[in-house]
Chains A and B, each alone.
Chain A
Amino acid sequence: MGDTLSALLSIGFHGLAFAMVLYLISVGLSVTMGLMGFVNLAHGVFAMAGGYLTTSLMKRLDAPFPLALLAAAALVALVSIALERLLYRRLYGGDELDQVLLTMGLVFMSIAGATFLWGPLQQPLQLPPQLSGQIDFGFRSFPIYRSFLILCSAALVTALWLGVERTRFGARVRAAVDNLRMAQSVGIDTSRLFMATFALGSGLAALGGGLGADLLTINPNYALQNLVYFLIVVAVGGLGSIRGPFVAALLIGIADTGFKYLLPEFGAFFIYALTMAILLWRPRGLFGRA
């Protein structure tokens, strides 16, 4: 009995950590897809860039982990603004195929670029001593890094939700998701709004990539390797939703960890079956609008 409980607790904990990383990375993708109607297969590139920049800043410049994370996120957000203005903006509301071609092209370039700059091997996240080891919660001990990861992400998620609910910017985003034309007619500058949300989503993805560099390892194929997970979270959660992907990430993160732990011989098979079932039941995702 004690063993079962301990296993469940362990699955819950590791699943939660994985879910947080998935959510931080995918929420931006959900908004891009819902708001701009853009199939951004290159979203993982921003997370990968965040991971590479974080590990490099720590290794080369001896920057502390939190500072490196923030710097990486800011840099990625800036670069994403340039990409949005130069490339993405041309295809808003356009043909899905063109979007697929453009973003797959960016993914390929990112693979080549990362291999050129950092080599083909994965970049380990060198944790500061305060974050390595275990922490004792009284009834059980957990790895400090993952606890830190969960806490940090929880804080970010709260800030994000409050921002969307309470600020003027958040209200504009919600208005544009609900009814783009109406939002334009009441004078919201949607072009700038798109740019800002895109940058925010990319920055969050970079944070997720850096924070989760120990879970989703940083290597040149990152964007392609993990694309299925990000897309699943978005599709199951519902396009354009902020909370949907959170529930989906929890579901996918915990179920994936659990299945891999309990039935390793089936691997990720169940997650895909679960995804199919959910999408059949609710084609627009759990929180998607009809």
Chain B
Amino acid sequence: MAEGAVDAFARRHRYRLLEALPWLAAIAAYIAFPSYLALGAQILATILFALSADLVLGYAGIVTLGHAAFFGTGAYTAGILAAHSWGEPITGLIAGGSAAALIGLLSGLIVLRTTGLTLLMQTLVVATMLAEAANKASFITGGDDGLQGMEVWPIFGRLRFDLFGNTAYFYCLTVLFLCWLAARRIVHSPFGRSLTGIRENVRRMHAIGAPVTQRRLVIYTIAAGFAGISGALIAQTTQFVSLSFLSLERSGTVLIMLIIGGIGRLYGAFIGVPLYMIAQDRFSTIDPVFWYFWIGLMMVLLVVFARGGILGLFERLRR
């Protein structure tokens, strides 16, 4: 019996066949919908954003309403670089991710001292502060009009961003894949397991001597970096950054997409984000107001009938 349990733990981190599914689906989507590649690239980048939110929320149990702070920081960093004659995409991505991680580290030092609603408020306030700062610093950010005049160079000096989004699609897919590998490793490492421990029972983790605050800070910083990379990806592929990148609405929607998919499962982002964004694209061409109503209704119904999101639903069906 004990050996069975040990085996189960040892096998946890091994790759399973099912995990290839999202990537196969991404390639299938590329072949099947060549005219929707721009949307596809945005979906892939947003999956990364939701994945980073999952690390914070689903694994470390930090309920945040300010995750857009890091997304926006990454986007503005990459955007401002590209608008001021440094359009090299890879370094732009690294710069965006690093700037966001730095903000994550600095704000985490303050914010993570608190818990519960206070924590929620602190994260919200950090994001709102950054949004207000970006709004007022319109001489570099463009303020309300958004950041314009970005020029992104070809990747490695060769692959130009084309009009159809071919390059953008594979660029986003590659970055997402690399970040997913990293996130997967983190989650299955002893460090990742201790995060789950912190989420499930903080007192116990304190009692067995785990450095709780430090671990929460580390994952917060890493996730902020991922969110920054995701923001930089969207900035580079759409060549536009606006104040909405830092907004409460952005922080809220990423949570919603993640919860729809299912949190704390690493794959919730891969289900929730495409579902949400494709539905939004379809519905909002009919009528954007109409879209808000139906997504709102769907969220309410989800809470009433299907807690744990779509992956949670599957798990219950399997049992």
Contacts of B57 in A (CB 8 A): 97
Instruction: Determine if A108 and B303 form an interchain contact, defined as CB atoms under 8 angstroms apart.
Output: no
Grouping DSSP codes into helix (H, G, I), strand (E, B) and loop, the B interface class, with mixed when no group exceeds half, is helix
Contacts of B133 in A (CB 8 A): 269
Contacts of B125 in A (CB 8 A): 228, 232, 272, 275-276, 279
Among A115, A239, A268, A279, which residue has its beta carbon within 8 angstroms of that of B132? Answer: A268
CB distance from B278 to the nearest CB of A (A): 18
Q: Is A137 an interface residue (CB 8 A)?
A: no
**Among listed A98-106, A138-146, A196-204, A210-218, interface-contacting one:** A98-106
CB distance from A245 to the nearest CB of B (A): 13
Q: Is A93 an interface residue (CB 8 A)?
A: no
Contacts of A110 in B (CB 8 A): 296
Tell me the bound Cα distance from A101 to B309 in angstroms. 11
Instruction: Determine if A97 and B289 form an interchain contact, defined as CB atoms under 8 angstroms apart.
Output: no
Contacts of A285 in B (CB 8 A): 118
Instruction: Determine if B263 and A109 form an interchain contact, defined as CB atoms under 8 angstroms apart.
Output: no
The size of the chain A interface, using a CB distance under 8 A, is 45
Q: Is B210 an interface residue (CB 8 A)?
A: no
Q: Is A172 an interface residue (CB 8 A)?
A: no
Instruction: Determine if A272 and B128 form an interchain contact, defined as CB atoms under 8 angstroms apart.
Output: yes
Among A104, A112, A265, A272, which residue has its beta carbon within 8 angstroms of that of B252? Answer: A104
Q: Is A69 an interface residue (CB 8 A)?
A: no
Q: Is B259 an interface residue (CB 8 A)?
A: yes
Tell me the bound Cα distance from A235 to B259 in angstroms. 25
Instruction: Determine if B296 and A107 form an interchain contact, defined as CB atoms under 8 angstroms apart.
Output: yes
Q: Is B238 an interface residue (CB 8 A)?
A: no
Closest B residue, CB atoms, query A108: B296
Instruction: Determine if A109 and B292 form an interchain contact, defined as CB atoms under 8 angstroms apart.
Output: yes
Grouping DSSP codes into helix (H, G, I), strand (E, B) and loop, the A interface class, with mixed when no group exceeds half, is helix
Tell me the bound Cα distance from A195 to B263 in angstroms. 31
CB distance from B15 to the nearest CB of A (A): 29
Among B120, B121, B248, B299, which residue has its beta carbon within 8 angstroms of that of A102? Answer: B299
Instruction: Determine if A96 and B63 form an interchain contact, defined as CB atoms under 8 angstroms apart.
Output: yes
Closest A residue, CB atoms, query B135: A267
**Among listed B3-11, B109-117, B173-181, B219-227, interface-contacting one:** B109-117
Instruction: Determine if A100 and B129 form an interchain contact, defined as CB atoms under 8 angstroms apart.
Output: no
Report which A residues bind B (CB closer than 8 A): 33, 39, 87, 90-91, 95-98, 100-102, 104-113, 115-116, 224, 227-228, 231-232, 235, 239, 265-269, 272-273, 275-276, 279-280, 283-285
Report which B residues bind A (CB closer than 8 A): 57, 63, 65, 110, 113-114, 116-118, 120-122, 124-126, 128-129, 132-133, 135-136, 248-249, 252, 255-256, 259, 263, 289-293, 295-300, 302-304, 307
A-B contact pairs, 30 of them (CB 8 A): A39-B117, A90-B303, A97-B259, A100-B65, A100-B252, A100-B255, A101-B259, A101-B299, A101-B302, A101-B303, A104-B252, A105-B300, A105-B303, A108-B292, A108-B293, A109-B293, A109-B297, A111-B289, A112-B290, A112-B291, A112-B293, A116-B289, A228-B124, A235-B121, A239-B117, A268-B128, A276-B126, A276-B129, A283-B113, A285-B118
